[in-house]
A and B are shown apart, each in its own frame.
Chain A
Amino acid sequence: MMQTDRRDFLRLAGVAGVTFTAGLFPGRQAMAQADDFHFVQFSDTHWGYKGKANPDAEHTLEKAIVTVNGLARQPDFIVFTGDLTHTTEDPKERRARMKRVREIIGGLNVKDIRFMPGEHDAALDKGEAYKEYFGDTHYTFEHKGVHFIALDNVSDPGAKLGEDQLAWLAADLKQHKTDDRIVVMTHRPLFDLQPSWDWTTADGAKAIDLLMPYQNVVVFYGHIHQEHHHMTGHIAHHAAKSLIFPQATPGPQPRRPPPPPYDPSQKGLGTRDITIGKTTTFVELPVSKA
């Protein structure tokens, strides 16, 4: 049924979706999952960015909202995994950008929206402005039997979760059984994806250690502006594309190359529709041409 909805949507919007299916929650595969649901992940919208990597930067977010509003089956909720705004060193301008992002996002039909900061939003003032506009930088919530944990590895300018948050995470996990379904959302990768490009979290390994005893954990993140899938033991990590521009693919270069040149077909931009059920299905939704 979900499959049909998705095909309908794709035909409707006249765009091609790329799907990726993973056996999320391996310990639960044998069990019937009555309450399938889906949510949409937006990442790295970088409102305020001006540069040649995306000459359409000002309107990309609006276009993506049109795409999501056009989904045949609306998502249960929407997640923004950080870098809502592009860095500015001016605290007034930072707040102006956040205010504008809130206004634009108000155009989404779905009103259940979960936010997370990226380092561009929060690292220069330890999340102060972010909290005024988007609330807590780390929190948990439940949805249809799945426990969601949003982690903040960006408000600390050294890209740390920090001892306090790790203790909070440990206490939260203690309240759960080792076969509970857990979705972790964060901005930077928790594992060492590419340390020489700074694609890590300084103390991310400590969070992964805390999560390891739990059999059904998946991590969704942003930051690297591209689709990426990685396992640490039985824990799957999935990076989402950025709405603003793609970044270089991890490679052997000691320093991260600049973003690839702008592609008028907007390759590399998009939002991700994630279905959680017996397996997890991702459909990458390109930014609408509308």
Chain B
Amino acid sequence: MRRRYFIALLAAGSAAGGVARLAADAPAEVEVIAEKFDFTPDTVKAKVGKPLTFVVTSIDRVHGFKMPDFGVRTDIVPGAETRVTITPTRPGTFAFFCDVFCGDGHEEMGGTLVVEA
């Protein structure tokens, strides 16, 4: 509980315009599995103003998780849970993708965040 709050606090500083939303409820969570060369699921839904935490695990090798529109990126190391919290401030579709070159198929390794009003 405490840890989750801390991560949300951290992410609010860097994610697009998350500051005012901090007082809102605890982030929703979505589990995402990374493996060569997919994220599962590869389409994630979110709501404007609602914090969302990606809980990402890799089942094969080190991948990356990058969302340029939210100013976040992290390595995803097998055997560890990587948590990334974002708070969308406007509706739209936004990319997340692997930014650690992981093999022949790396360039297709990505997904879409669909933010609804």
- Select B68's contact among A88, A159, A195, beta carbons within 8 Å: A195
- Select A159's contact among B75, B93, B99, B103, beta carbons within 8 Å: B99
Interface: A260 (CB within 8 A): no
A158 to B97, CA, bound (A): 12
A254 to B114, CA, bound (A): 10
A202 to B99, CA, bound (A): 9
Interface: B25 (CB within 8 A): no
Query: Is the pair B112, A255 in contact by a Cβ cutoff of 8 Å?
Result: yes
Query: Is the pair B95, A255 in contact by a Cβ cutoff of 8 Å?
Result: yes
Interface: A164 (CB within 8 A): no
Query: Is the pair B101, A123 in contact by a Cβ cutoff of 8 Å?
Result: yes
Please, which residues of chain A bring their CB within 8 A of the CB of B112?
254-255
Contact with A along B64-95 (1 / 0, CB 8 A): 10101100000100000000000000000111
Please, which residues of chain A bring their CB within 8 A of the CB of B101?
119, 123-124, 154, 157-159
Q: Which residue on chain B has the smallest CB distance to residue A202?
A: B99
Query: Is the pair B103, A89 in contact by a Cβ cutoff of 8 Å?
Result: yes
Query: Is the pair A89, B99 in contact by a Cβ cutoff of 8 Å?
Result: no
A269: shortest Cβ distance to chain B, in Å? 19
- For A, the interface residue count at a CB cutoff of 8 angstroms equals 20
Interface: B44 (CB within 8 A): no
Please, which residues of chain B bring their CB within 8 A of the CB of A200?
68
Query: Is the pair A86, B97 in contact by a Cβ cutoff of 8 Å?
Result: no
Please, which residues of chain B bring their CB within 8 A of the CB of A158?
64, 75, 99-101
A203: shortest Cβ distance to chain B, in Å? 12
Residues 216-249 (chain A) with a chain B CB within 8 angstroms = none
CB contact under 8 A between A196 and B94, given known A254-B112, A255-B110, A255-B112: yes
A159 to B97, CA, bound (A): 14
A133: shortest Cβ distance to chain B, in Å? 19
Residues 53-87 (chain A) with a chain B CB within 8 angstroms = 86-87
A158 to B101, CA, bound (A): 7
* Chain B residues engaging chain A, CB cutoff 8 angstroms: 64, 66, 68-69, 75, 93-95, 97, 99-104, 106-107, 110, 112
* Chain A residues engaging chain B, CB cutoff 8 angstroms: 86-89, 119, 123-124, 154, 157-159, 195-198, 200, 202, 254-256
Closest 9 CB pairs of A and B: A123-B101, A195-B68, A254-B95, A196-B95, A87-B104, A157-B101, A254-B93, A157-B100, A119-B101
If A158-B100, A254-B112, A255-B97 are given as contacts, then 12 extra A-B residue pairs at C-beta distance below 8 Å, sorted by A number, are A88-B104, A89-B103, A119-B101, A123-B101, A158-B64, A158-B75, A196-B94, A196-B95, A198-B66, A198-B107, A254-B69, A254-B94
